[in-house]
Structure 1
Amino acid sequence: MERTGFLIFLFLLNMLIYCRGYWKVSGSCLDSERKALTIFRKALNDPSNILTSWDDEASGCCKWRGITCHNITGFVLKLHLYNLSLSGRIDPALVELKHLHFLDLSNNAFYGISIPQFLGSMKELRHLNLSYAGFSGRIPHQLGNLSKLISLQLSSSSLSDKNLWWLTSLPSLKYLDMSYVNLSMASHDWVHVMNMCPSLVELRFIECGLSYISPTLASVNFSTSLHVLDLYGNKFNSRIPKWIGNISSLVSLNLSLSNFHGLVPYQFSQLSNLEELRLADSLSANSSQLLEGSWSRMKLLYLSLSNMYGGIPNSIGNITSLVDLELLFEENTRGSIPRAITKLVNLEILSLNGYHMHAIIPDWLDELKNLKQLILANCMLTGPIPAALGGFPFLRSLYLNGNQLNGRIPSSLGGLSSLEELLLQENQLNGTIPTTLGKLSKLSELDLSYNCLTGNVSESLFENLKNLNILDLSSNSLLFDPHPDWAPPFQLNKISLGSCHLGHRFPPWLQTQKHVGILDLSNAAISDIIPTWFWDLTPQLSSLNLSNNEISGQLPNPLKMHPLDTSDIDLSSNNFNGPIPCILNGAILLDLSNNQFSGPIPPNFTSTMNDLVIFSAIGNQISGKIPSSIGKMKSLLVLDLSQNNISGTIPLRLGDCVDLVALDLSKNHLSGRILTSLGLLHQLQTLHLSNNSLSGKVLSSLKNCTRLVTLDLGQNNFLGHIPTWIGKSFPDLRILRLRSNMFTGNIPPQLFNITSLHVLDLGQNYLSGSIPQSLQNLMAMKNEQKMDHFLVNGTGYYYKENLLMSVKGQMLEYTRTISLVTCMDLSINNLSGEIPEQITSLLGLRVLNFSGNHLTGKIPNKIGKLVLLESLDFFKNQLSGTIPPSMSSLTFLSYLNLSNNNLSGKIPSGNQLRTLQDPSIYMGNNDLCGPSLPDKCDSDETSQSPMPVGGDVKKYDEAHEMVWFYSALAPGFAVGFWAFCGILVLKKAWRIAYYRFVDEMKERLLYSCRFARC
């Protein structure tokens, strides 16, 4: 016993001597490790000063943020530095942490540097997490030296690797996550590499660009260890390999959106341990057969039935363990909800988003008493919301948005005491908002937008809604005008009350909202001066929409917005005045259009708006020049400064906005030439420079804008010939407007090679020569155009095309319906020759205007083939011959002008021409005659019997009637006689019946005569 005690004493003494020799203690950690951490800290950039505790050496490194030490030895074991916005570099001093088990640098900002190779020498590491840390480049294969590694997380879209065989040197690896890493070059053998890691428990390769998956494996080494396999979002163009169905230990399987096809392997039905199965948009199968497997432990089922045969099968009810059922559907996928779903007594989540049922919501859904989420959005549901939906005691989310539900919102929904989200937007619900919704004390989101709700919204509705964060009542006919002293019980993050009537004053209760980030009060009938306190809210706003009111006042300069650089500001269609302010913290959308802003665009405007994507200031009183600094706005997609008083030239630096898609500078006072720098705008789709004083020739540099859809240079002073390259350089051009310039020469035949062109306006120039015969090549004018709300792609709802055209004798502006207009206007030029017969092949034409030229010859006989024509103007030419009778076939024609020509003969009658009785349509054609002209045609006069002068009107009418009587008697007798005789000749049975009838009548007459004599 004494000897044992002595040995223990010696052991402890040796340990003490060892420790004294090894340690130079500073606080509670080793001197060497503290120094290494200090060096590591100096190489980092810490913008938020989160690691200030590391500067306190007296406290010891074990008390520094993110560091965990051993309780006895003081060795640094763990380094938790995730999500701290750290940047800079990783100093090799980190290697001095000899006992480090855990290193987490995830969610930081080490941009521009690679993963350090020296990490591979930290042999004690068990857990390494570098996901989303900003590292880029190739993954260093030195990480294969970490033989004790259990968990490796490298998720990042900036990393890549061509060879994964280094992973086979990690025998203890259980958890591997390389999601979003580019593994496309390692696609051919990744399965075989993973098969040599027999300890794997979780494998996540989400969106890695993998394109090959081995169809067979001799043996699956992780068949009894792998619990999680996540291959979401890859590019496999193959069948699902059978070996996946042999991994009996699988608990979670995700093959969604990975381009698998064919049938689900039958082995899948044997995965009895599977608790989570995600196969959305990745397969096709008989849904009934798939769901008849041994799913005894299934809790989550995430499928896309759009790629499977059949709808939701009744066999779904056999998976009684299901807790989460989420089924995805493509557009127009139809079916019904089988009542067998009610067998899923444990179901907490039921999501059937996009399943077109075209039916009412079944009442029996309330049998699923454990539901926490019910998502039936975009399902084409009809009828009213059943009152039975108010019977779910645990329901937290109810999504019925995007359907065709009608009727009132049932008051029973107020009984959903656990409800947190109620989404009923985009339906046809009517009536008032039930006050019982005010009982939903846990409600955080209420969205009733885009319905037909009416009535007053009472303050009492919100008394108990203390947890409300999102309120959206927009696009209804609601009146919400609470008392000026009302203090809401909630603090909202989103307020959307667009198209609700909020009273004429600006809502004072907004002053109480300290956390609102999205505010929409558009079209709310506000006609107040904006209060000064409102601008104290904007620094927290990321979205502000006050459009379509009558709000007046000036904006603060500068205007502060939320510093996320993602804010959008829409103040359009109000009465704001004063100068345009600078926007601090930037914005991506700024719409100041249709106000009364004046003065120049400030020179420093662009300094804080470098991230601006949409800038619209149409319809103001802005003057001065466009600042050259506009070229600094590299993110700009839409620039619309039309309808202002801007002067000067187009700035050269505008060509630096290389992403510009829509440029509209029309209706200003710009002068000078089109600069060659505009040719740098290769993404440009619409260019409006009309109604200015621009001059010179159209420079060939514009032909580099090959994506142009609209080119409008009208109402300027451009001269020279119309460039022939227009017909070659713009294959997608739909609108070409060169109206009211000084172009000369012939119309280039190349223009008619633009097959997509449906508006061609060359009116009011000095063009000469004949109309090219090749106009039948205008394929888009041969068909009726369809509605296209966005001619300009990539700008969303923020830019709507507009165009001024001469239609029906007046200048009309087209906006929303411009895609439907098919127009050819060559009016007021010096064109000569005949109208080409090929014009009649353009069957989609709605507007045709050749007026004010020197055209000769006849109107094409087949002009009536243009059945969609609404406006036809051949005024003031030298056309001759008769008006083609086919013109009476133009049933949509509402405007016609053939005056001041040399037309002759009778005006055709019938159909739409009967409604066009204005004599001015045909004036100046001395040889024309017809009902609407003073000169009646001879045939019209002789067709009537003139009443003798001074004759008796009654006798004249009687004589007229006798003429009609005898005129009709002869043909009537002939038709009746031969119709009767023809039937007797052709029908034997009728002949017999007729002769029998004659005999009977003869007998009756004889009998009558005898009786009369008696």
Structure 2
Amino acid sequence: MRIKTTPFHPPLLLLLFLFFLNTISTINSSTIALNDDVLGLMVFKADIHDPNNNLSTWTEEDDSPCTWVGVTCDPYSHRVTELHLPGFSLSGHISKGLLNLQSLHTLSLSNNNFTGLISSPILISLIKSLQSIDLSQNRFTGSIPDPVFTQCGSLTYINLSHNELTGQIPESISTCLTLQTVDFSSNQLSGRLPNKIWSLTSLRTVDFSNNFLDGVIPDEKIESLFDLRVFNISSNSFSGVLPDKIGECLLLRVFDVSDNYLVGLLPQSLQKLSLCNVVNLRGNYFTGNVPDWVRGFKSVETLDFSVNNFTGLVPNALGELEMLKSLNLSLNRFTGELPESLGKCGNLSVVDFSWNVFTGDVPGWVFGLRLKGVYLSGNRFTGNVEFGMAAAAAGFESLEMLDLSSNSLSGVIPLAIGNFSRLVVLNMSRNSLVGSVPSSLGGLKAANVIDLSDNSLNGSIPNEIGCAGLLEELRLDGNFLTGSIPDQIQNCSDLTVLSLSRNNITGMIPVDIAKLTELEYVDLSFNHLSGSLPKELTNLSNLVTFNVSHNELEGELPLGGFFNTIPLSSVSDNPSLCGSIVNESCPGAHPKPIVLNPNPSHSDHGSTSLNMSHKRIILSISAIIAIGAAVFIALGVIVVTILNLHVRNSINRSAAVALTFSGGDDFSHTRSPSSDYGKLVMFTGDAEFVSGTHALLNKECELGRGGFGVVYWTALRNGRSVAIKKLHVPSMSKCQEDFDREVKKLGTIRHANLVLLEGYYWTPSLQLLINEYVSSGSLYKHLHEGTEENTLSWRERFEIILGTAKGLAHLHQMKVIHYNMKSSNVLIDCSGEAKVGDFGLAALLPSLDRHVLSGKIQSALGYMAPEFACQSVKITEKCDIYGFGILVLEVVTGKKPVEYMEDDVVILCDMVRGALDNGRADECIDRKLKGDFPIEECISVIKLGLVCASQVPSNRPDMEEVIKILEMIQCPSEGQEEIE
């Protein structure tokens, strides 16, 4: 039997052996790689703080990290490819451990508390090697380094928004051709956009909003952005016109250029944006009519043209926008009537036409659509308010915000107003409405605000008002209401504002008002209230204002709580009130003692005679008092009448202007639970602007720019000028309560050498400070921009130094640090008096971060105290004194703190100190000073300036000492020693 054998093939065996070796090698390599990923992530974890223990599944005992929270691996190689840890409350620095993850292409660490410089080598390496990186909503600082984009590899997505980044956007970003999304919003970036940024033809999202970027928008190749979906450069300082070809980006869904300084007409190419959902142009200086081609916005849902200079009629073409949900045309100069065609926009939810020049009746379609918000305030609408049958089927079920204030509406308030079951805010103030306050207001179960002030309403306040149980603000002031305050008001337990002033209300103040523990603002002044103030009112712990002046109240003022420090003006003109506040002692409550005559046999004649004499004296005095009282009352009636008219007009004007600043992101002008609202607070009385709302932030009236914002000039109706500072929003407090608290503190400061803060306006996106206008400009202008003929004399300079010192000393007494002392922040009034301005603005920053603060006041180069650069040294008033010392040297020498020569940089402080050491201090005195002036006095002031500018904070005198020294220098006859 023959056995068949298989031939032996050495090559095949060799291949099998090599395959075996390769498999072993691959397994070992994979194991090593897995260990590298575990090691890298454990190093990363060791360098961060994880307060919520979210990374508890990460343990070094594991062979693979692929099951760890936030980790995604490739299913074949088992290498880590994605790391997602958003919102884990992680903090610390990003360590080099992540560099071990050689297959990582996506990193998301958003919404944590990571810190460090964005320019650290680790972050640069990560950005270079990744396809997608999201570091948004952390606390990274520093500037974006240029090398990041020189070798960006395959980077398609980068999000660095909501950090604290500074500096410019690198030009090298234009070389990163794979980029699809760039989001650098909500930082402190400055400078211009790179000229070639639109060469990134793959861009889908561009968001540079909420920064300090300026210049014109580059228009080169912008039409080549075929894939662009989001274009957002809002809340910056861009100027010029919109690029003509911006509409060639046909796929745009969001186009937002709001809150800049853009001018001119709208480019016609915009009509091609038929796919755009959001078109936001608010807060610029666009002019002309809204063109009919807006009908091309077929997909637009939000259209915002507010706060511009648009004129003319509202085009009927807007009625063709079937997808439109939100339309805002407020704060422009539109005229005529609202087009009926808008009634065809069945998806409309919010319309804001406030503060224009619209006329005619309130159109019926406003209540016929299922609108949630209607804002028509500040126009010239006339006629009666009529809801019609259509409203019963639509508006009654949907409307939440109704603002018809500041128009010329007449007639009565319809009883049907109570059918708006969802209404949160009702504002019909500052019209000519008559009749009674309808009892149907009790049907507004959801209402937070009811404002019917400054009309001609009569009758009593209905008891049914207590049925509006969620009411927070009730404003009925400035009417002709009678009757008493209803006891049912106690049912409005959330009430914070109760304003019933300037009416004819009588009766006593209900004791049950003391149950409204949330009350903050109560104004019952200029009525006919009587009786005593309930002592239970002292339980109102949240009171800020309680005004019962100009009534007929009597008895003792309550003692305790707010009433221990109530201003005298809040209780004045109540002749029968007594207590320490009104400086009138209250009569004793003890009964008169019974006096028995111990000698009844004595004649009563003398006694009778004495009594008659006493009565005659009393009668004489009484007659005099009566005559005086009659004259006083007559004068009082005249004065009160005049004051009443004045107060009514003043409040009308103040209230009317409260909405003219509206700059919030929504369209609400009054508070509601779900939206922010514009809030104007004036510390100095009336504010009606002669230029109207459109010139308040007119670039032609710009006075100057600084680290914290731009200053504009405008005039009040009475002819008085004011300066309005528009704060840079990204750096300022986003919390209204914080902003209110800090600005009100500054508003209480009064001094002849300080610029008066007259008021402020706040919304999340627009923050204004209203300051006293100082006519003669800044000290900087007088020193460095004036002619030799108009140069300041020595005596003028000395008085400016002394006035500045007094103003700064008062700030320090009020526990306010200026932070930004420099000659451009010292203003000169018409009499030559110095006034220090821009004080305390750093307190409005969300946190007093050294890096942010130094960035804000970088224009103060040379004035900044050296301790700003040292994180371990506390910032105190001594920093202001350093800046004051440099300013003193600037005033005496006429030179800037830092001057750049062709081949040198001259530091004023060092130059003056060197000259003084060499006995040549007189050579530093400004050569523009002419005539005879005391050189020794100048040198003494120079020495004081150098002492104030000492490098060691403890060596600097405080401002009270500075004032005494200056007064000694001015009066050497007192024998005081010269400063050494």
Alignment TM-score, normalising by the size of structure 2 = 0.49
1 or 2, which has the higher helix percentage?
2
Rg larger in 1 or in 2?
A: 1
TM-score, with length taken from structure 1:
0.47
Higher relative contact order (CA 8 A, sep 6+): 2
